[in-house]
Every structure is written in C-alpha cells, then in structure tokens.
Amino acid sequence: DTGVSQNPRHKITKRGQNVTFRCDPISEHNRLYWYRQTLGQGPEFLTYFQNEAQLEKSRLLSDRFSAERPKGSFSTLEIQRTEQGDSAMYLCASRPGGSNTGELFFGEGSRLTVL
C-alpha cells in the first residue's frame, strides 16, 4: 500500500499524559499537513511542512503541541500534558511539490481519546 500511513489508529490516554502520532506520507510527496477533526466539523489546519521545514503553524496550536519532520520523510505530532479538549481525530495529508494546485491525500487518521 503506497498511501499515507498513520499510527496508532487509536489512542486512549489519561489527562496529563503525553502522546505521539506518526505519519508516513506518500514517498514522493514533499509537502505534509496535519489537521485535527472533531465530530461534525471539517478538518482544522494545524501545521504544514515542506520537506523538513515547518513553514506554517496554526495559532490554535498551543505550546503543548509540537510537530517534526526530521528528514523530510515521516512526521510526528506530539501532544504534551493532554487535556480532554484534545480528544479528536488527527489527520495527516500529503501532496507532491512543484505545483500550487493538486489534491491532498489523507491518511486514515489517529483517533485520540483523553479520559
């Protein structure tokens, strides 16, 4: 399968714990996005990487959230000191570079439940 891969698919954690999600984009895609989606809402932008550079970060992203893409391939999204309001689906998407148009390819998401 050469699609966008995310893991874990589900994560249940207690409030105050740290969690980390991983995204493996389609191999030739140098642009990678993280989105958050809550029930009944559209995907909400979190952050954007072009290769290893984090070029955009949403103001909604508190300092408890950090994302990396160290070698311009896979990416991780870490949430520290989780809160119940962090419960959501975290979606990763990628797309190829070289064009300012083109579809986003989404992974199946990592669902976080904070108890």
Q: How far apart are CA 69 and CA 58, in angstroms?
A: 16
Site mask for other proteins (CB under 8 A), range 1-20, x = bound = --------------------
Distance in angstroms (rounded) separating the CA atoms of residues 3 and 76:
17
**36 neighbors 91 (Cβ within 8 angstroms):** yes
Q: Which of 41, 51, 62, 113 contacts other proteins by CB under 8 A?
A: 41
Residues 47-66 that bind other proteins (CB under 8 A): 48, 50, 55-56, 58
Min. distance of Cβ 50 from other proteins in angstroms?
8
Q: CB 37 → other proteins: shortest distance, Å?
A: 9
Is there binding between residue 105 and other proteins (CB under 8 A)? yes
CA 74 to chain centre: 11
Strands 75-79 and 5-7 come out as: unpaired
Q: Which of 17, 20, 45, 80 binds other proteins (CB under 8 A)?
A: 45
Contact with other proteins (CB under 8 A): which of 44, 52, 66, 96?
44
Task: Name the nearest CA neighbour of 23 among 55, 58, 48, 56.
Answer: 48
